[in-house]
Amino acid sequence: MNENWEEFELAPITVLTVSQLAAHLKEAVESRFAWGDLWVEGEVGDLRPTAPGHIFFSLKEGRAQITCVVWKTHAARMAQLPANGQAVLVRGRIGYYEDRGDCRLYVDRWLPLGLGQRFLALEALKRRLEAEGLFEPARKRPLPPYPQRIGVVTSPAGAALRDIINVLRRRWPLAELILSPTVVQGEEAPAAIVAALEALQALPDLDLIIIARGGGSHEELWAFNDERVVRAVAASIHPVISGVGHAIDLTLTDAAADVHAPTPSAAAEIATPDREAVALTLAAWRDRLRQAMESRLQAMTQALQALEARLQVHAPERALQARAERLHLLQARLRSAIHQQLLRAGARLADPQARLNALNPLAVLARGYALVRRENGRLVTRADQVRAGERLILHWADGHVTVRVEGEAPS
């Protein structure tokens, strides 16, 4: 006894405060289960709604029980609350409440136990399809901005079809709606929905498909969790918008579709542009195009005017006119130069002409003198050269006569 006590005294001792122990417990408990992975079944008891909107109840099984809390945000999304004594399946996360030293289950979803088992099978299918990549964002296709032909897979008698038609008439009446009718709930619904989808695949020029139905219970929407329907949606050659149920309803069809809409009306809104917004956009584009064209025309006009100015400077007519004017100037200068040359030449010729005129025999004859020649043309220059009876020719400036010599000059 003493030896054991001595060993205990010698062993190292770890001492924790209550807060430290509570922190360790909190970490150990809360790290054990990931959010969304913890499902617990049991019987509801002590259900207590609170004024702020939170819900408290106990989940019991035999002698065991755990306190459950539904925060206001999650309670607002629940269509109805469980009842005391009801067997349920709840999803949540475990939390350690340090102030009171107990564990609590924070619940975000509950299902009746029978439906809960079915939901667990759905979760298993969801994880298997996720592993195959059917829900990957990378495989989601964009929607055409201005669809012309829209296929709709829904019940012809349901409110979903009327909602879609009303939205299309208001937003985008240019689109043609092609209904591929089907039942949307019941055991025969999955096969019928698949057949309706396949019927649309063969249509030419189809832009997109809306698969829709109105809200309902989990059982009424269950056909859209069927693996056949999910795979048909994923395999569609046309983009698919799912609008199944209300905003709080989520199905595997929503996950497989290219776009998920919270309601059928929202699906039609997503599928089509607003014609008024398109009209405003077109008007803005028209104004921008007109402004751009006006600016372009103004720039081109200015460029054309600049080219015309350059053309006028370098125009052939202008060059020909300049050359013609220069030619006229040169001609005038040439005529003046010729005239001056002629004047100078005339001046140079005037003096020789005067001398020639002075030496010209005709000029002497014009003053009254006469030129005497014999008939043989020889000139007679002295009187002693003439013999009586000789015929002579007397030349004056204005003509000549023939005379006979009557006598000889005295010696």
Summarize pLDDT for 195-216 with one digit per residue, the tens.
999 999 989 899 999 999 988 8
Is beta strand 64-70 parallel, antiparallel or unpaired with respect to 102-112? Answer: parallel
- Whether residues 75 and 177 share a domain: the answer is no
For residue 135, give the nearest of 225, 250, 253, 229 by alpha carbon: 253
Residues 66 and 104: beta-carbon distance below 8 Å:
yes
With respect to residue 2, please indicate whether it lies within any of the assigned structural domains: no
Residues 229 and 261: beta-carbon distance below 8 Å:
no
Instruction: Assign 8 a pLDDT band (cuts: 50, 70, 90).
Output: low
- Whether residues 171 and 237 share a domain: the answer is yes
pLDDT in tens, 65-110: 999 999 999 888 887 788 888 888 888 888 888 888 888 899 988 8
Residues 117 and 123: beta-carbon distance below 8 Å:
no
- Whether residues 81 and 158 share a domain: the answer is no
Residues 110 and 86: beta-carbon distance below 8 Å:
no
pLDDT in tens, 369-385: 888 888 888 888 887 88
User: In Å, how far are 23, 186, 340 from 157, measured between CA atoms?
Assistant: 58, 15, 118
For residue 82, give the nearest of 129, 51, 115 by alpha carbon: 115
Instruction: Assign 263 a pLDDT band (cuts: 50, 70, 90).
Output: very high
- Whether residues 89 and 112 share a domain: the answer is yes
What's the Rg (C-alpha) of the chain? 64
**Joined tokens for residue 199:** 């019927």
- Whether residues 201 and 222 share a domain: the answer is yes
SS3 46: strand
- Whether residues 178 and 263 share a domain: the answer is yes
- Give the rounded distance of the alpha carbon of 98 from its chain centre: 59
Decide if pLDDT at 5 tops 60. no
- Whether residues 198 and 235 share a domain: the answer is yes
Instruction: Assign 113 a pLDDT band (cuts: 50, 70, 90).
Output: confident
With respect to residue 199, please indicate whether it lies within any of the assigned structural domains: yes
Mean pLDDT of 254-283: 94
Q: Which of 131, 162, 196 is where one domain is finished?
A: 131
For residue 231, give the nearest of 121, 118, 119, 128 by alpha carbon: 128
- Whether residues 266 and 147 share a domain: the answer is yes
With respect to residue 253, please indicate whether it lies within any of the assigned structural domains: yes
- How many structural domains compose the chain? 3
Distance, CA of 272 to CA of 173 (rounded, Å):
9
DSSP 53-112: S-EEEEEEETTEEEEEEE-HHHHTT-SS---TT-EEEEEEEEEEETTTTEEEEEEEEEEE
The residues pairing with 391 across neighbouring beta strands, listed in sequence order, are 404
pLDDT in tens, 150-172: 999 999 999 999 999 999 999 99
Q: Which of 246, 273, 300 is where one domain is finished?
A: 273
CATH (domain of 178): 3.40.50.2300
With respect to residue 341, please indicate whether it lies within any of the assigned structural domains: no
With respect to residue 76, please indicate whether it lies within any of the assigned structural domains: yes
With respect to residue 207, please indicate whether it lies within any of the assigned structural domains: yes
- Whether residues 32 and 102 share a domain: the answer is yes
What does DSSP assign to residue 174?
Answer: T
Mean pLDDT of 48-60: 91
With respect to residue 114, please indicate whether it lies within any of the assigned structural domains: yes
| Residue 35: per-residue pLDDT | 59
Lowest mean pLDDT among 53-62, 195-204, 391-400: 391-400
With respect to residue 313, please indicate whether it lies within any of the assigned structural domains: no
Q: Which of 217, 250, 273 is where one domain is finished?
A: 273
Decide if pLDDT at 281 tops 70. yes
Residue, of 395 and 48, whose pLDDT is higher: 48
- Whether residues 160 and 269 share a domain: the answer is yes
Q: What is the pTM of this model?
A: 0.54
- Whether residues 93 and 143 share a domain: the answer is no
Distance, CA of 300 to CA of 371 (rounded, Å):
96
- Whether residues 268 and 145 share a domain: the answer is yes
Q: How far apart are the first and last CA of the chain?
A: 219
Q: Which domain holds residue 384?
A: 363-404
